Amino acid sequence: MKKIVLSILAGFLLLSAISLDVSAAKKSSKLSKEAITEMSDSIDKLTQKIYGRALLSPQDNETLIGIKIKLDNQMLMSPSTELAPLYYKAGNVYKLRDMKPEAIECYQTILENFSDTALAPKAKSALEELGVTVTAPVTSEDSEEDEGI
């Protein structure tokens, strides 16, 4: 009887330790406000360099790539509307540098994941400037109307 109680107690402790690790991982997976502000400031500095006709250094390119990787990783973990401005700014930097596929990816991310933000129409317009045909997704209401006609 003691063995059963001890094994149940040990199992309970093991389960609680695992759940604490999972909850800690979820909390740490979200970008902090400071990290988001730092990424935004970095993108703003890169934008200023481009408009000032300065060449980007390898470190600047590394910074931009690092920001994009962090954004993409955060989108996989837990998308948040506070990422939309960062994707838009990164898309603008890529567009200014004639890096069309990367710019399209940033703007497309906004349309697919943050379509209810104020940046969605701007992202759509930027995609159209890049020559991408943007179509509105078909909703179930649209398909019902088509059947009734």
What digits encode the pLDDT tens for the residues 30-69? 778 888 889 889 988 888 888 787 777 888 889 989 999 9
Give residue 46's pLDDT: 87
Instruction: State the DSSP code for 83.
Output: G
Range(s) of the domain holding residue 1: 1-30
| Same domain for 114 and 62 | yes
Asked if 104 and 130 touch (Cβ cutoff 8 Å), the reply is yes
Q: What is the mean pLDDT of residues 86-102?
A: 92
Please check whether residues 26 and 55 belong to one and the same domain: no
Q: Is the pLDDT of residue 87 over 90?
A: yes
Q: How far apart are CA 91 and CA 123, in angstroms?
A: 9
What percent of the chain lies above the pLDDT cut of 70? Answer: 74
* C-alpha torsion 21→23→25→28, nearest 10: -130
CA distance linking residue 144 with residue 148, whole number of Å: 6
Q: What's the chain's average pLDDT? A: 80
Dihedral angle of Cα 50, 40, 101, 79, to the nearest 10 degrees: -170
